[in-house]
Amino acid sequence: MSENKVIIIAGPTAVGKTALSLDLAKKYDGEIINGDSQQVYRQVSIGTAKATAEEQATAVHHLIDVRDVAERFSAHDFVLEANRLIADLLSRGKLPIIVGGTGLYLQSLVEGYHLGGADNHEQMRELRSKLDKLTDDELLAKVAENGLSISQINRRRAIRALEISEFGEQLENQKSAYDFLIVGLNTDRKVLYERINNRVDMMMSAGLLDEAKMLYDTFLESQVARAIGYKEFFPYFDGQIPLAQAVEMVKQNSRRYSKRQITWFKNRMAVDFSDVFAPNFKENIAQKIERFLDDKN
């Protein structure tokens, strides 16, 4: 195995990233690095869809339960921690397998973003949110207004040029020392939405409401309290809506989030997706990974 190979398993919520990561970790002597922005927090395991204790026992997991609920964790923190872990795993002959659906985190790692501190990250996220809402024509007009030029006319490059214009050299990319293979997982939208709905029902049975109430009572201003799967219950706790409506809001917002995840990976990272329910899915993924690991470049 090459000394700089890293696997990333990316895709929307509930698509089956954890199951594949466990199979790959076993087959290739790998260890798993969490690439989800919420699973870093202790005390919240159900709504963040962490691998179960049994699943974590089958492969070493990193960047899970590494922050208290009241603490912050940014893309900058993720890039620093992930790079440190990758270097350690490779030095021990392990295959790093990064698993997650937080597009900003994975893109920042792969493209070598130097994001500055957490404050800069928050400002950049606000800017990116505004830019994402612009149409293609509006975005390109804004590029022109700022006197910028981009080598290829597409949204990702336009947004990146505007970010660098706003935040300066601190956001310039620093080429990663690692060779990444991104394994994108997806499936038919109807099937995915059904999986999401079923997952929410299972979360409710497992105690999701108690986790949400804990955040509501104690950590209402925390970063994780704003996550899908928790914030929808706060109007219920305030007596504004019935529980059934809150649960339906979790399902709806989760479905919408899955669509945004897919769009991010397609547009920002050019991820090639594989259908997890295709007849030859496992064989095709295995071939892709074998070719990647055998490539000495």
Tokens of 262: 């897919």
14 is in an annotated binding site: yes
Do 246 and 199 belong to one domain?
yes
Do 234 and 207 belong to one domain?
yes
**pLDDT one-digit tens code per residue, 94-145:** 999 999 999 999 999 998 765 544 455 567 667 777 887 888 888 888 888 8
| Angstrom distance (rounded) from CA 150 to CA 159 | 10
30 is in an annotated binding site: no
Report, as an integer, the average pLDDT of 222-237.
97
Do 168 and 195 belong to one domain?
no
pLDDT at position 30, please? 97
Do 207 and 245 belong to one domain?
yes
In this predicted structure, the answer to whether residue 292 has a pLDDT above a threshold of 70 is: yes
Do 150 and 198 belong to one domain?
no
pLDDT at position 211, please? 98
CATH of the domain at 216: 1.10.287.890
18 is in an annotated binding site: yes
Q: What percent of the chain has pLDDT over 70?
A: 89
**pLDDT one-digit tens code per residue, 143-161:** 888 777 775 566 767 777 7
Do 196 and 151 belong to one domain?
no
279 is in an annotated binding site: no
Report, as an integer, the average pLDDT of 2-17.
93
Do 157 and 203 belong to one domain?
no
In a domain, 97, yes or no: no
What is the span of the domain harbouring residue 241? 190-257
| Angstrom distance (rounded) from CA 275 to CA 11 | 11
Do 236 and 194 belong to one domain?
yes
In this predicted structure, the answer to whether residue 196 has a pLDDT above a threshold of 70 is: yes
16 is in an annotated binding site: yes
pLDDT at position 118, please? 45
Do 198 and 244 belong to one domain?
yes
Count of the separate structural domains present in the chain: 2
Give the burial class of 172: count Cβ atoms within 10 A of its Cβ; 0-12 exposed, 13-18 middle, 19 or more buried: exposed
Reference 100, options 31, 151, 32; nearest CA is 32
187 is in an annotated binding site: no
